[in-house]
């Protein structure tokens, strides 16, 4: 099997020849690993022999500067045109204040910035572009539906090349929660739920309308394999939005997006959310979602329990990153507690339950990959020395 065939076999609960293992390091983690022998400048995917994966969308992530060049891009632009101007407003020896490409004003500690944002979560959000209906309409102008402005100049050539690929192709986009949170911030979003529910519905429904309209051409001309809806709508104790609020505000745009993708032949739809979103899984499945990632163990999201409760739910991740800081026996115990059962029942992609943090050594990460790959049927040439 090639990587694409392998991915589809797993996601459709068939038997693959082997099961791939994933785990992406943070920037600060790479700095540690360089000091432990990882060659600087090396292609991480090639070095760790990860399976190939592709995508066809591009948009800003909050906190960062983002630029899309129509002449040189290979991805469809589903971000703002133009993006908000990235600008550092203030800096001193303790912190920075800046506006990112989504128009979010924030403050972060200089030490975190210089160390690859290992403490990125310590940022303070100060202001968001959408505060009311008027500012939403102003921001909405950056999301015009003219698709010709959002496709690479060489899209026809790119689409033909993608038809010959041997790796899985993902359509990554923001779900209604993350879309709205990026526009108005979590606090204002939750207050608007009560103060102006019509506005909140408009923003979330525009999330579905805009992204499906822009991507219609792409999915008519390219056969994508799966969709990842980025949400990050939960914390350790549960989702940040109640099931009732999900039903009132998010059910309709979710259904529209899931129907859109399935009508165009993409029937693998995975929600990416940290924390514990388990209360929402039944409604996600009702609207057409059939997978979740990264199954964060620190938030008590155990993939074995999920498999027993939802036999046909695709699961990704679920290997406790905290156990990877310990000795090799602890790593093996963690893997053995989940991976053999889950790959036997199907629909499972083993991986670290979030980005790999800098308290995990290069040696331990290699051991995780080698030990898990052995269980998952990989030959010796895929082991990392």
DSSP 107: E
Select the more confidently predicted residue: 72 or 117: 72
What span, in angstroms and rounded, lies between the C-alpha atoms of 9 and 7? 6
Task: Tell whether the model's pLDDT for residue 381 goes beyond 50.
Answer: yes
Structural domain includes residue 374? yes
3-state helix, strand, coil in the chain (%, to 5): 45, 15, 40
218 inside domain:
yes
For the chain, the domain total comes to 1
Considering the domain boundaries, does residue 262 fall inside one?
Answer: yes
Q: Is 234 within 8 Å of 240 (Cβ atoms)? A: yes
At residue 113, the pLDDT reads 57
Residue 112, pLDDT score: 58
Residue range of the domain that includes 36? 3-80+129-382
Task: Give the pLDDT band (50/70/90) at residue 21.
Answer: very high
Tens of pLDDT along 35-79? 999 999 999 999 999 998 999 999 999 999 999 999 999 999 999
- Which percentage of the chain shows pLDDT scores above 90? 90
| Residue 97 lies inside a defined structural domain of this protein | no
The b-or-e profile of 77-91 (16+ CB within 10 A means b, else e) is bbbbeebbebeeeee
Residue 313 confidence (pLDDT) above 50: yes
Q: What is the pLDDT of residue 144?
A: 86
Does the pLDDT at position 314 exceed 80? yes
Q: Has residue 219 been placed in a domain? A: yes
289: left (phi over 0), alpha (psi -120 to 50) or beta: beta
Domain assignment of residue 86, yes or no = no
Q: What is the CATH number of the domain that holds 59?
A: 3.20.20.210
- Where on the phi/psi map is residue 72: left (φ > 0), alpha (ψ -120 to 50), or beta? alpha
């Amino acid at each position: 099997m090639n990587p694409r065939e392998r991915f589809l076999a797993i996601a459709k609960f068939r038997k693959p020849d082997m099961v791939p293992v994933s785990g992406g390091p943070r920037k600060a983690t790479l700095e540690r690993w360089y000091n432990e022998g990882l060659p600087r400048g090396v292609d991480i995917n090639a070095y760790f022999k990860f399976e190939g994966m592709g995508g066809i969308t591009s948009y800003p992530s909050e906190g960062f500067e983002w630029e899309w060049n129509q002449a040189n891009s290979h991805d469809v632009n589903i971000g703002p045109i133009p993006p908000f101007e990235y600008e550092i407003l203030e800096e001193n020896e303790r912190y920075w204040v800046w506006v990112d490409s989504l128009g979010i004003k924030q403050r972060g500690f200089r030490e975190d910035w210089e160390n690859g944002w290992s403490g990125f979560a310590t940022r303070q959000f100060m202001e968001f572009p959408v505060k009311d209906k008027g500012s939403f309409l102003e921001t909405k102008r950056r999301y015009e539906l003219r698709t010709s402005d959002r496709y690479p100049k060489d899209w026809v050539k790119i689409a033909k090349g993608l038809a010959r690929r041997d790796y899985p192709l993902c359509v990554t986009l923001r779900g209604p929660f993350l879309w709205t949170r990026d526009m108005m911030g979590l606090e204002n979003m939750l207050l608007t739920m009560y103060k102006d529910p019509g506005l909140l519905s408009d923003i979330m429904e525009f999330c579905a309308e805009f992204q499906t309209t822009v991507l219609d051409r792409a999915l008519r001309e390219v056969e994508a394999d799966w969709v990842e809806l980025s949400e990050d709508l939960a914390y350790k104790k549960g989702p940040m939005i109640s099931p009732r609020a999900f039903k009132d505000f998010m059910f309709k745009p979710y259904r529209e997006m899931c129907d859109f993708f399935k009508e165009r032949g993409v029937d693998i739809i995975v929600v990416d959310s940290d924390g514990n979103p388990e209360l929402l899984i039944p409604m996600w499945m009702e609207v057409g979602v059939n997978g979740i990632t990264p199954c964060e163990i620190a938030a008590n999201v155990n993939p074995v329990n999920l498999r027993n409760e939802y036999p046909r739910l695709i699961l990704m991740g679920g290997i406790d990153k905290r156990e990877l800081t310990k000795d090799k026996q602890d790593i093996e115990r963690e893997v053995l507690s989940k991976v053999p059962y889950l790959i036997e029942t199907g629909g499972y992609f083993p991986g670290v339950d979030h980005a790999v943090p800098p308290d995990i050594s290069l040696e331990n990460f290699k051991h995780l990959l080698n030990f898990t790959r052995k269980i998952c049927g990989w030959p010796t040439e895929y082991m990392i020395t």
